[in-house]
Structure 1
Amino acid sequence: MPRLKQKIRRITIKDVAEFAGVGVGTVSRVLNNNPHVDSKTRQKVLDAIKKLGYIPNPHARRLSTGESNLITVITPEMKGDFYQILLSAIDEVLIKNGYSSLLYPLYNERKYEGLKKSSDILLSTDGIIVDGVNVDNILKGFINPQTPVVCLEQDSDKYDSVIVDNYYGGILAGDYFSDFDMDIFVVTHRKSHELESTVFDERLEGFQESLERKGRSIDKIYYVPLDWESTFEVARRIFSRYKRCAIFTTTDYLAVPIIEVARTMELKVGKDVKVCGFDDLPIAQILEITTIKQPIYDMGKIAADLLIKRINGRIKEKIKRYVLKPELVVRST
């Protein structure tokens, strides 16, 4: 007799809560971008969602909350405080206008396939905000044509977009580094698949262009995953050979382990080793890291406000494109 196919059980919010060691309410707050969840707990829940492949059910959420005004927020893999700042800004505008949000982290191909198969997530929503993902290519064909969409950190030929000029940010960093009489290195993340953002490439391109204009060049580029362990190893390799150098990291998240390794090897950060990050995350302010500051909070607020206006019919003209400018913030590193 032919074997019957075993039905695959759907992962539930309870499964996520048990895996993360938190309550169901905490998982719900994370999915709803509630600001009253500390960063460590939020990351535990997001890691559990990624590990289990959990796909939120917007219909179930509506029934449980009694709310009808729902905005879906799609992000790539969430690292550091960037997304907490961005999502807080988005939610501030949504809540003020009577909307709530459903967070869908697009971590990998499995989550992407789940998004395509679970049409409820994109069809049963009043609007969509997509961060760091090329909507025109990745989500082509399964977004309701009538659903307003705003893209963050990515241009679009079809939808409104709010971006930071990352290339210009790289130019600012390159102009700053060009006067340093020392070897220049870059530690960055290389896009490995279509679900990842292109912002790191744009920052590197601007940095490289600026140096070349001033007769300088990058001595070496180190590509790392977005994790501290790999960056620690790269930093040890650099400082085992170079005791005097300038390092540009395309995000503050990668600057932190480099500074830590330099200090443990008794190098003077800011003198022997110059470090500049990108973003101006809270950790950069605490550790006084020189960085290229991007207006993260403003980006989130503008995107959410633009989406609400589209939903309410207050904007009827063709697609709008907002380009925000970053700025250099020189601190002790």
Structure 2
Amino acid sequence: MRKKGLTIKDVAKKAGVGVGTVSRVLNNSPHVNPKTRMHVLKVIEELGYIPNPHARRLSSGHSGIITTIFPQMVGEFHQLLLMGIDRVLENEGYTSFVYPLYSDNRYRFVKESSDFVLGTDGLIIDALNVDRLLSQYIPRNTPVVSLEYESSNYDSVLVDNFYGGMLAGDYIASFEGEIFIVTHRPESELESTVFDERVNGFIESIERKGKKVSEIFEIPLDWLQAFNIAKGIFRRVKRSLIFAATDYFAFPIVEVARLLGLEGKKDFYLCGFDNLTLSNILNITTIKQPIYEMGRMAGEILLKRIKGYSRKPRAIVLKPELIVRKT
């Protein structure tokens, strides 16, 4: 049985060799005398020492681990993003460790401890102002890619959310009715500003066409609140035009319309944002953003940095597109 707290130093001491020699034996290095190798392996067996694979990776200077930090993880969006990242990493033998911040306590851990980058070959940070919130806590030579936020210090991969909002505005403004926005209200500095960008683009578009928003509803990422807001809109407005700044809000809005017997493109118009799978199933008009592609590109850029690419950081901005369906 392995003794509690047994380390590679204990093995080296009992074997009468240096720690480096034990490390080379554990990593099956050819640069070890055969007799010394056999002696060290015998001591390892006698002590019951079980090597820590993570520590072994660290000693080689290559962990094979990428840390991905999300502010939160909600539904299919983050799943698709992570699938794109993982597909690239796995092909190169890497494993991703996912750390969602969720709360100020988890953010405090990142600020107060270097453990979140311990043994990682690179970082992918999603939807956070990495320059303001995290940059000072990241070791200088750690490769980093910023997703959904244009960083001044690191490579960035993002979607033009303002343009996406304008596309939604162009669509909605072409119809007659009262215009409403249902969007997410950030609850901490950790959350993304993408919703503000979408709303700002939408408002600019409809104002260019001489129209204005009747009301903006800012709520947490909560289906029930979106559901209740939709009930209020549909019951007091004869013909409503709604921009949902995420498909996550568009789904309950369509459900309310169904329950009230309202028909899309007749009694109401709705445009979401994301183009998640359920948007297609429910025939919701939406703004498609290339979620999987964003993740894939972030993984590819990070791997280039890990392999030594050293040119100045650049931003890749992907364009969303309008997908017109039955709302």
TM-score normalised by L of structure 2: 0.81
How do 1:127-276 residues align onto structure 2 when only pairs under 5 Å count? 127-276=122-271
Instruction: Kindly indicate whether the alpha-carbon contact (under 8 Å) linking 1:165 and 1:324 is maintained by their aligned counterparts in 2.
Output: yes
- Match of 2:135, SS? coil
Q: Give the superposition deviation at 1:75.
A: 0.3
1:70/1:126 contact within 8 Å kept: yes
CA distance in 2, matches of 1:149, 1:247: 38
**Match of residue 15 from structure 2:** none
Q: What is the match of residue 54 of structure 2?
A: 62
Structure 1 pair 184–331 and aligned structure 2 pair: CA distance change class (3 A): same
Cα 1:282–1:63 change in 2 (3 A) is farther
Moved more, 271-280 or 120-129: 120-129
CA distance in 2, matches of 1:73, 1:171: 30
Partner of 2:76: 81
Equivalents in 1 of 2:259, 2:246: separation in Å?
21
Asked if 1:90 is matched to 2:72, the reply is: no
The CA distance in 1 between the partners of 2:239 and 2:93, in whole Å, is 54
2:26 maps to none
- 2:282 equivalent to 1:287: yes
Seq. identity, %: 53
The number of residue pairs the alignment matches comes to: 274
Deviation at 1:61, TM superposition (A): 8.2
Residues of 2 paired with 1:178 and 1:62: CA distance? 56
Tell me if structure 2 keeps the 8 A contact 1:163–1:324.
Answer: yes
Deviation at 1:76, TM superposition (A): 1.2
The equivalences for 1:12-91 within 5 A come to: 62=54, 68-91=63-86
What TM-score results when the alignment is normalised by the length of structure 1?
A: 0.79
Aligned to 2:120, the other structure's residue is in SS state: coil
Mark the CA change 1:65 to 1:87 in structure 2 (over 3 Å): closer, same or farther.
farther
> Quick check: 2:63–2:119 contact (8 Å CA) kept in 1?
no
Partner of residue 321, structure 1: 315
Asked if the contact 1:123/1:144 (under 8 Å) is kept, the reply is no
| Whole-Å separation in 1 of the counterparts to 2:270 and 2:205 | 17
Q: CA deviation at 1:64?
A: 11
Q: CA deviation at 1:65?
A: 10
Q: Distance in 1 between matches of 2:84 and 2:57?
A: 22
Q: Which has the larger radius of gyration?
A: 2
Shift, 1:237, TM fit? 1.2
Give structure 2 stretches of 5+ with no counterpart. Answer: 1-51
Matched to 1:324, the amino acid is: L
Structure 1 residue 68: deviation in Å?
A: 2.6
The offset of 1:107, in angstroms, is: 0.3
Alignment CA distance shift 1:102-1:116 (3 Å):
same
Alignment correspondent of 2:30: none
Whole-Å separation in 1 of the counterparts to 2:286 and 2:105: 34
**Which residue does 1:299 correspond to in 2?**
294
Query: Which residue identity is paired with 1:220?
Result: E
Matched residue of 1:322: which SS?
Answer: strand
